[in-house]
Amino acid sequence: MRSETIAADPSADPVPVFAAAAATLPAEAALANQGPGRTALWPGLALAMAGSIAFSGKAIIVKLAYRYGVDAVTLIMYRMLFALPLFAVLAWWAGRGRPALTRRDWLVSTGLGFSGYYLASFLDFAGLAYITASLERLILYLNPTLVLGLGAVVFKRRVRARQVIALAVSYCGVLLVFGHEVSVQGTNAALGTALVFASAISYAVYLVASGEEVQRIGALRLTGLATSIACLFCIAQFLVLRPMSALAVAPQVVWLSVLNATLCTFAPVLMVMMAIERVGAAVAAQTGMIGPLSTIAMGIVILGEPFTAWVVAGTALVLTGIWLLAKWR
């Protein structure tokens, strides 16, 4: 697993690092390398699609919870509180029979958990208070472009002209939707966009920095460990910034948080893991392109968000740009 890989679902959510596929191979080549027949591919593709859709439901649940007057600090605390036991068990299970973690492993995992899962998740939750779920998903889907940029800056990797074109196409799509939201919501849209974009940067830093640690302790173990640490950060943040009386929220917020922690956080990790075992990381990553589309669809049906030509055009540009980036890499 190389540090320049790109997440199968580029969001600020716990996504297994081994699912990060740089899409260095087109889908056809990846399938050829996997070797199974076409009928054997469908279970893996179905798992990858289900995982991507489940991940994308996170934004919908967050937007629904905000309708009950909860703030980002409390909401993310509840989500991580319910997710902590699941990821702690995952870290233990993945570490069975493996060497004990060293002090260096704990320090690096703590840093990765802070950047990739605590800070990225909190900024994403905060941004969703100001922008639509559709725009949030499109911004997060720029993650591969940020990984490419960090690779060029940190590792001095060469960025080719075709990759710059792909980046430009993607960013034009986001700017198109952003411009429309600013015209409707004003400065709040700018603040929300900045927060979510910062979330995407934080997660890109995690992906770039995690390559060596993945090789040392394993992707699944690192995911469980880093996410568990992030859960503790979120809980500690609540204890520092909010009184205990803030725990009193509407019952709907609690149930939505349970759903977010299980169906939209932990379950997709396992689904994507099983998908990669069956079809490979490159194919699972490209299947993840269904994520923004499912977010937009759920935003329209569940949240009543507007479905405009701006959203259609912006989404088409973002997906085209990311597809070109994957193809040309």
Residue 2: inside a domain, yes or no? Answer: no
Residue 86: inside a domain, yes or no? Answer: yes
Predicted confidence at residue 256, as pLDDT, reads 96
Predicted confidence at residue 281, as pLDDT, reads 67
Residue 116: inside a domain, yes or no? Answer: yes
Question: 162 is in which domain, residue-wise?
Answer: 17-328
Residue 295: inside a domain, yes or no? Answer: yes
Place of tokens 């902590």: 84
Predicted confidence at residue 21, as pLDDT, reads 38
Contacts of 221 (CB under 8 A, 6+ apart): 91, 94, 95, 98
Q: What is the pLDDT along the chain (329 residues), one digit of tens a residue?
A: 343 333 434 344 433 333 343 333 333 333 334 444 444 678 878 888 888 888 889 999 999 999 999 999 999 999 999 999 999 999 999 899 888 888 999 999 999 999 988 999 999 999 999 988 888 888 888 877 788 788 777 777 777 888 788 878 888 888 888 887 777 677 788 899 999 999 999 988 888 888 778 888 888 888 899 999 999 999 999 999 999 999 999 999 999 999 999 999 899 888 887 887 777 766 676 677 777 788 888 888 898 888 888 888 888 888 887 777 777 66
Residue 10: inside a domain, yes or no? Answer: no
Q: Number of folded domains in the chain?
A: 1
Tell me the C-alpha to C-alpha distance, in Å, between residue 115 and each of 67, 110, 111, 118: 28, 9, 6, 6
Residue 11: inside a domain, yes or no? Answer: no
**pTM for the model:** 0.80
Residue 6: inside a domain, yes or no? Answer: no
Q: Are 14 and 88 in contact (CB under 8 A)?
A: no
Residue 36 CA to residue 40 CA, distance in Å, equals 6
Q: What angle do CA 58, 62, 63 make, to 5 degrees?
A: 120
Residue 9: inside a domain, yes or no? Answer: no
